[in-house]
Structure 1
Amino acid sequence: MKQKNGGLGYLLLGAGAAAWWMSKDENRTKFDSWMSQAKQKLNGETSPGDSFPVHKGGNPHPEDIDDNKMVDEGSQFAVNYYNKKQQ
C-alpha cells in the first residue's frame, strides 16, 4: 500500500516561496510592519486615528457639491426596487 505525502511537498514549496520573498530587505521591512500591526491589534492597542474610520459620515460640507448631491439623491436602488415590488 503506497501512501502519498503531497502535503509535505506543498509545505516545502510554501517555505521556499516565503524564503525567496523575505530575501529582499524591502519585503522584510513590510513583513515587520505587518507583524507589529497584528500584535497591536491582538493586544487591543489602537492609534488615535484608528478609533473612528469614517470622518465625514452624515455631515457633508456645505460647499462640497458632489457629496451634497449624493446625499440629496439618497439610495435610488432601494426606491426603484420598492416601486417594482409594489407594481
Structure 2
Amino acid sequence: MKKRWIFSSIGAVGAGALAYLLRDETKREQMKDKARSLTDKWRGGTPEDMPVDKAGEPELDNLENSKMVSEGSQFGVNYYNELTEKEREILEKSSS
C-alpha cells in the first residue's frame, strides 16, 4: 500500500516539474532539441551522417555507384527518394 502512494507522489511531482519546465516556449524548444540529439546519439548518428546522401556522385572513391547510375540503375535513386520522404514525414510530424 505504501509503495502505491510513494510511486503516485513521485509521478505527481514529476508531472508538475515537467509542466513547469514546458510552460515557456523557448524551454520547450530546448527540451525538444535535447531529446532529438539524445535519440540521434542512441540511434547512431543524425540523418546528415548517412552515406546515402553521397550515392551516385561521380567521385574516384565512389566509382561503383557512378558506374551503376551511368548504366541506368535506379535502385540507389529510389532508395534515396524513399529515405528523404520518410525523413520529411518525420520532420513534419515532429513540427506539428
TM range (shorter): 0.3 to 0.5
Tell me the TM-score normalized by structure 1: 0.46
- Which structure: larger Rg? 1
Greater relative contact order (Cα 8 A, min sep 6): structure 1 or 2?
2
Normalized per residue, the structure richer in helix is 2
TM-score of the two chains, using structure 2 as the length reference: 0.42
